[in-house]
Structure 1
Amino acid sequence: MKQMKGTAMPETIVHPFDPVYDADSEILILGSLPSVKSRQTQFYYGHPQNRFWKVLAAIFQEPVPATVEEKRRFLLRHHIALWDVISQCVIEGSSDASIRDVVPADLDVVMHHSKISRILCNGQTALKYYRKYQEKQTGIKALGLPSTSPANAAWSLERLTDSWQQAVLPMDAGADTKKEVQ
């Protein structure tokens, strides 16, 4: 990538990898487009400062998955599908603010081959493009969550985890274990 004094030049990026999902996926988490670092690592949320994997691990009280395969297994074990709202766009580096000429991702493949009933957007950019391009097709209102990006420094890991946990875990989580014995 060409760079001038730390500023990335705009370039057209085609989403480089497939969504993660299976027939049992119930929650779809959507980002905007993989960052430069994620494109280099060939998987979602590959920047070491992005808190996505730490947040999910904290929610499910598990170790943070390290490898791509561990991350895939983690998502599928918790019935989470993962993808992005943008299939192609012009972007400068990893700056969501610079996104233009958007080609939205076709969510049909995930929606028709899974049990998605909730859609969560990682950050306001993902939510904006989901509402603009995909909400009518899916018929599901998405919940916008605070971005796990390092650019969202105003949110601590603890605060992010609290916010995400309310959206990811069902309201009646643990209800079965709290039944009274008669």
Structure 2
Amino acid sequence: MTGTARLAGLPPIIPDRCTLLVLGSLPGRASLAAAQYYGHPRNQFWRLMEVVTGESLVGQDYPLRLARLGARGIGLWDVIASARRGSSLDGDIREAAPNPLAPLVARLPDLRAVACNGALSARGAARALQGHDLPIIALPSSSPAHTLDLAAKADAWRALADHVLPPG
């Protein structure tokens, strides 16, 4: 993968009272170009978060989506800070540098669980958060490349609702 530019991820989005941290692997090219988590129009993340929160998110603009997640105590980040990547597929990630998850988690007193969007994220979170007494929930990827149908993904993601703040 020589010659492939090193890509840097997005900064964490952490609400004042974070009860659930959702971790991805590393944003794909469309998300990085838009400077938005889950910015690819075919990514199912926002539809899955509608299931978790019971709120309409897909039709909202990005700042409002983030505000709604924040109001429910949901933070966003990734396990990888930067890497070389030939495509947006996780399987193409090379020379990954991890994000400092343990220090972040240590300063989130209300955190109830860490949710991992996909297998790579779950492996990275388990490694980085080893020894922390915190549930790590591995979820099917919201990526359109993960071919599990939306209903099956939603069944798994629905479990996150127990870790978010009530609407209000």
TM-score, length-scaled by structure 1: 0.80
Q: Find the aligned partners of 1:13 and 1:124 in 2 and give their Cα distance.
A: 20
Report the residue type matching 1:94 in the other structure. S
Residues 54-113 of structure 1: per-residue CA shift (max 9 Å, x gap): 111133222124322112111111111110000111111212101121111012235414
Deviation of the 1:22 alpha carbon: 2.0
Q: Which residue of 1 aligns with 2:129?
A: 135
Which has the higher relative contact order, 1 or 2, with Cα contacts under 8 A spaced 6 or more apart? Answer: 2
Taking every aligned residue pair, what percent have the same amino acid on both sides? Answer: 27
User: Map of 1:133-172 to 2, 5 A cutoff?
Assistant: 134-136=128-130, 138-153=132-147, 155-166=148-159, 168-170=160-162
User: Map of 1:81-160 to 2, 5 A cutoff?
Assistant: 81-107=75-101, 108-109=103-104, 111-132=106-127, 134-136=128-130, 138-153=132-147, 155-160=148-153
Residues 20-76 of structure 1: per-residue CA shift (max 9 Å, x gap): 112311111100001100001101000000000011113322212432211211111
Gaps of 5+ in 1: 1-8, 175-182
TM-score, length-scaled by structure 2: 0.86
Task: From the CA coordinates, give the structure whose radius of gyration is larger.
Answer: 1
How many residue pairs get matched? 161
Q: Which residue of 1 aligns with 2:43?
A: 50
